[in-house]
Amino acid sequence: MKIEGVGKVLTIYVGSSDKWHGKPLYTAIVERARQEGLAGATVLEGIVGYGANSRIHRSKILDLSTDLPIRIEIIDQPERINAFLPILDEMVQEGLITLRDCEIIKYTHSQTP
């Protein structure tokens, strides 16, 4: 597969403790993106952040339970990203989803898994 040209960056912000059918939401989103054939996804964990409820979430050694900020980025062609948005709407109950344009310079890989 080779992709070049106009693309979209889909960014999803959720908490590390958010769940979807018993598994971490960020894992479920990545698995579903793969199932839908999107080019790729990356999950990044934040060390501190806050969202709509203004409660600060941070990583501390003494915290037994943390709800760290998680950012998932998926980049692909606009039509493929747009087709994935209704799926995300169902999966993300609390969080933030953003979409921005990008230019894909090069995305290529072999057919071997």
pLDDT digits (tens, 9 = 90+) for 18-70: 999 999 999 999 999 999 999 999 999 987 777 766 666 655 555 545 778 99
What CATH topology corresponds to 2-107?
Alpha-Beta Plaits (3.30.70)
Q: How many helices (H) and strands (E) does the chain have?
A: 2, 8
Mean of all residue pLDDT scores within the chain: 87
Give the model's pLDDT for residue 46: 85
Q: What is the DSSP letter of 77?
A: -
Show the CA angle centred on residue 25, arms to residues 34 and 84, nearest 5°: 45
pTM here is: 0.84
Whose structure tokens read 């839908």? 36
Look at the chain and count its residues.
Answer: 113
**Residues paired with residue 58 on neighbouring β-strands, in sequence order:** 48
Domain segments of the chain: what residues? 2-107
Nearest-angstrom CA–CA distance, 5 and 25:
30
